[in-house]
Structure 1
């Protein structure tokens, strides 16, 4: 949703001939996302922002519940559990910032808009830092069984580093009153948003191991079984055959029927 919204806004601005909107500074030739979102595409900007952050925060809540219910590898200490809970809190704060900056646009409420931009970026960056701490701790604990946890940690760490660098540059540009700083600031804002899209998609990597399929047991359940703690009603479904080409007629669980 966020990717579709950003592309639609960018393409619309270009197709309209790259107009100079009333909210843009003199000498500014590249529109900020906020400039485009303050015009006739504001309904799209608001709706896209709401849908994006609602489902992203639901992903945070789902991840916490799936770890609690052993569908994903469970937390192993108070610190990583605290980081998980706090990451949800700051994600909700970041969500509020994105929704409010879309509603209070830069044309009619410039000061409030800038404040909500700061809330949005700070909320999700702090949330990502806390998620990194959580994933590092549980990734070390399950480093042999679930390497995907450390992979997810490095993905989110890259997001934190890149977003922090971009956010600092963006803050310098919008804080400057020089016209020469506005175009670089607009480019940085678009870049921050597309990097944020990658962060949103990274949660697919986190949630997929919880899915039960014909030949896959959820991450947390599998770990319990490997430790000899099989629970009643939980079983590992074996493939019909070891043939890499797929099921073979006349075989069931590796034996000829």
Structure 2
């Protein structure tokens, strides 16, 4: 009974990335279905030769309140995911940062999420129909902030993985983040190159990137879930340095 009770202790935070991903993904589909169900209207903010709307084109219409709410929840969720992961590593409930460089990159990843999250909230408020210049600026802030956060997170995970290469869950988490973040960054570069010149292709890229961001958010659920059943300090750097790293690395609860 004591073990079962501990496994459920502080379990609510694990659902934060799930909630953020669900709200974000659900909102995207709500906007896409609304556009299709209303006869694929040509919004005021769309170019004359544009047939595939950008997310911001639909979000600037009647669904703007939904979009602002969704972006706010998603941004807060994204920031909290990184803050919680940092706390759980520091408190010895996830594989720890063994060196200062890993803690620095973890902090930089959190800073990137704050910048990206702020950009996401502001771009939803300053829509493309009424404040196009501001909207485009905050869109760039969002993309750059999230990209930097992802890069810093992957670097941090790479160094942690080198210390605990025998931990399978850590390895899977590292590769999931690396692949998803890498693909999204490549698509973001392609989006930047087609947004103005080939608007319909750019629109497709934007929807794919937005949908793909859902999966990046879900990787944090996998990370936070690894703390289930792990006592505070059980995975501390000092404890793992005392020749017990293999035991604790393989003993995390799935």
For Structure 1 versus Structure 2, the TM-score category normalised by the shorter chain is: 0.7 to 0.9
Contact between 2:154 and 2:178, CA under 8 Å: does it hold in 1? Answer: yes
Question: Quick one: distance in 1 between partners of 2:80 and 2:216?
Answer: 15
Question: Quick one: distance in 1 between partners of 2:232 and 2:168?
Answer: 11
Q: Which residue of 2 aligns with 1:200?
A: 217
Q: Which residue of 1 aligns with 2:170?
A: 149
Q: Which residue of 1 aligns with 2:9?
A: none
The structure with more helix, counted as a fraction of residues: 2
Contact between 1:80 and 1:134, CA under 8 Å: does it hold in 2? Answer: yes
Contiguous gaps of at least 5 residues in structure 1: 230-235, 237-257
Q: Which residue of 1 aligns with 2:50?
A: 28
User: Which residue of the other structure, out of 16, 20, 24, is the alignment partner of 1:2?
Assistant: 24
More moved, 46-55 vs 146-155: 146-155
Q: Secondary structure at the match of 2:234?
A: helix
Shift of 1:53: 1.1
Shift of 1:107: 0.4
Q: Which residue of 1 aligns with 2:81?
A: 59
Shift of 1:152: 1.2
**Dislocated runs of 4+, deviation >4 Å:** 225-229
Contact between 2:176 and 2:219, CA under 8 Å: does it hold in 1? Answer: yes
User: Which residue of the other structure, out of 219, 225, 234, is the alignment partner of 1:221?
Assistant: 234
Question: Quick one: distance in 2 between partners of 1:149 and 1:228?
Answer: 19
Q: Which residue of 1 aligns with 2:191?
A: 170
Q: Secondary structure at the match of 1:31?
A: coil
Change (3 A) 1:13 1:4: same
| RMSD of aligned Cα (Å) | 1.9
Answer yes or no: is 1:158 the counterpart of 2:179.
yes
- Written as runs of structure 1 = structure 2, the 5 A alignment for 1:2-151 is 2-144=24-166, 146-151=167-172
Change (3 A) 1:219 1:173: farther
Question: Quick one: distance in 1 between partners of 2:49 and 2:96?
Answer: 54
Question: Quick one: distance in 2 between partners of 1:225 and 1:156?
Answer: 24
Contiguous gaps of at least 5 residues in structure 2: 1-22, 245-250
Shift of 1:159: 2.1
Change (3 A) 1:218 1:194: farther
Question: Quick one: distance in 2 between partners of 1:155 and 1:220?
Answer: 26
Aligned length: 221
Deviation digits for residues 36-79 of structure 1, max 9, x if unmatched? 00000000000000001101211111011111100111100011
Q: Which residue of 1 aligns with 2:199?
A: 182
Contact between 1:73 and 1:220, CA under 8 Å: does it hold in 2? Answer: no
Question: Quick one: distance in 2 between partners of 1:218 and 1:184?
Answer: 50
Contact between 1:210 and 1:219, CA under 8 Å: does it hold in 2? Answer: no
When normalised by structure 2's length, the TM-score is 0.82
- Written as runs of structure 1 = structure 2, the 5 A alignment for 1:224-243 is 224=239, 227=242
